[in-house]
């Protein structure tokens, strides 16, 4: 009888041990989640502001699907220029862009006038186009980064 009680107590102890470990794990994963959620939401909030700016200032030339238009307006969706030349892309949006550039192997030689956006708006629209139409870039572009880009 003693032995049975002993095993019972032991197994209850074990269960309790396991349980508290599980709880700790759960607590850890919850706090990890909320950290990433916080980061995501800064990017997501910026993208939501950027979407409005895109519709007002960019869509007429680059299209609602970001694919560009005819030979004159280069694509932003899947654009190697946008993906690989983030600084130059910010500069283009901030100060305008003219002269020859190559996007996905095609040469464009046209003019994008400066759009008169504030640095924060440039950051927001960058975050939007970086993460739309299949584009993906989880690095948050900040107003501060845009302010450091010179003409
Ligand atoms: C009046 C038409 C027009 C508008 C409006 C316009 N763009 Fe452009 N954009 C162009 C043209 C034309 C080029 C290529 C310029 C060249 O040939 O040097 C370009 C180039 C670019 C590039 C670099 C090339 C690429 O395709 O990756 C980016 C990034 C860009 N535009 C983003 C934007 C964003 C963001 C907006 C809105 C805030 C915007 N553009 C508004 C016409 C426009």
What pLDDT digit, counting tens, does each position of 71-118 carry?
899 999 999 999 999 999 999 999 999 999 999 999 999 999 999 999
Is residue 103 within 6 Å of ligand 1 at its C-beta?
Answer: yes
Angle of CA points 74, 120, 113, to nearest 5° = 35
Please state, rounded to an integer, the average pLDDT across all residues of the chain.
84
Distance 28 CA to ligand 1 centre (A): 44
Query: Where does the pLDDT of residue 68 fall: very low under 50, low under 70, confident under 90, or very high at 90 and above?
Result: very high
Name the least confident of 6-15, 50-59, 68-77, 136-145: 6-15
The answer to whether residue 13 scores a pLDDT higher than 80 is: no
Closest Cα to atom 5, ligand 1: which residue? 58
pLDDT of amino acid 5: 52
Query: Of 109 and 22, which is predicted with more confidence?
Result: 109
Cα 100 off chain centre by = 28
Query: Where does the pLDDT of residue 125 fall: very low under 50, low under 70, confident under 90, or very high at 90 and above?
Result: very high
**Who contacts 78 (Cβ-Cβ below 8 Å, separation ≥6)?**
104, 133, 134, 135
Q: Which residue has the tokens 């759960």?
A: 26
Ligand 1, pocket-test mutation among 49, 56, 58, most atoms within 8 A of CB:
58
Is residue 40 within 6 Å of ligand 1 at its C-beta?
Answer: no
Q: From residue 7, how far is each of 1, 4, 73, 83, 137 by CA, in Å?
A: 10, 5, 77, 63, 56
Percent of the chain at pLDDT > 70 equals: 74
The answer to whether residue 42 scores a pLDDT higher than 90 is: yes
Report residue 13 as tokens.
């102890």
Is residue 132 within 6 Å of ligand 1 at its C-beta?
Answer: no
Is residue 141 within 6 Å of ligand 1 at its C-beta?
Answer: no
Q: How far apart are CA 141 and CA 80, in angstroms?
A: 18
pLDDT of amino acid 31: 43
Distance 116 CA to ligand 1 centre (A): 13
Report residue 76 as tokens.
């932003």
Nearest one of 119, 120, 117, 98 to 109, comparing CA atoms: 98
């Amino acid at each position: 009888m003693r032995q049975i009680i002993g095993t019972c107590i032991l197994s209850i102890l074990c269960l309790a041990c396991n349980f508290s470990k599980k709880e700790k794990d759960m607590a850890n994963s919850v706090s990890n989640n909320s950290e990433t959620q916080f980061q995501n939401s800064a990017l997501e909030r910026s993208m939501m502001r950027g979407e409005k700016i895109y519709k007002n200032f960019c869509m007429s030339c680059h299209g609602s699907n970001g694919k560009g238009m005819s030979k004159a307006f280069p694509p932003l969706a899947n654009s190697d220029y946008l993906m690989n030349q983030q600084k130059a892309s910010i500069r283009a949006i901030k100060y305008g862009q003219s002269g020859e550039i190559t996007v996905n192997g095609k040469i464009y030689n046209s003019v994008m006038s400066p759009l008169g956006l504030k640095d924060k708006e440039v950051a927001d629209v960058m975050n939007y186009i970086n993460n739309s139409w299949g584009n993906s870039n989880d690095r948050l572009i900040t107003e501060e980064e845009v302010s450091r880009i010179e003409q």
